[in-house]
Amino acid sequence: MEFAKILFNQVLIMFLLLAVGYLLFKIRFITADAANQITKIVLHVVTPALILNTYQMDYDPALAWNMLLGFGLSAGALGIAILISNLARIKSGSTLCIERFAIVFSNCGFMAVPLVNALFGEVGVFYCNTYITVYNILVWTYGVALMTDGAAKNETGNSSHRVTSLFKRFLTPTMICIVLGLICYFFQIKFPAPVKTTVEYIASMNTPLAMLVSGMYLAQNNLFDALKKFRTYYVVLLKCFVVPLVVLAVFCFLPLDDTLFTTILIASACPSASNSLLFAALYGQDIKTASNAFTLTTLFSIISIPLIILIKGMLG
Alpha-carbon torsion angle 106, 107, 111, 112, nearest 10: 40
Give the three-class secondary structure for 272: strand
Cβ-based neighbour number of residue 315 at 10 Å: 10
Range of the domain at 154: 2-315
Cβ contact 144:153 at 8 Å? no
Q: Give CA–CA dist 246/139, Å, rounded.
A: 21
pLDDT at 160: 57
DSSP conformation letters of 87-110: HS-PPPSTTHHHHHHHHH-B-III
DSSP conformation letters of 58-96: PP-HHHHHHHHHHHHHHHHHHHHHHHHHHHS-PPPSTTH
CATH number at residue 291: 1.20.1530
Most confident option among 80-89, 263-272, 304-313: 263-272
pLDDT at 146: 86
Q: Give CA–CA dist 121/77, Å, rounded.
A: 22
List, for residues 181-228, the tens digit of each pLDDT value.
889 999 999 999 999 999 999 988 887 888 888 788 778 877 777 777
Which has the closest alpha carbon to 42: 23, 17, 59?
Answer: 17
Q: How far is CA 119 from the centre of its chain?
A: 17
State the helix-helix crossing angle for 47-54 and 206-219, rounded to 10 degrees: 150
Cβ-based neighbour number of residue 302 at 10 Å: 17
User: Residue 275: CB partners within 8 Å, gap ≥ 6?
Assistant: 105, 139, 143
Q: Which residue has the higher pLDDT, 230 or 24?
A: 24
Q: Domain count of the chain? A: 1
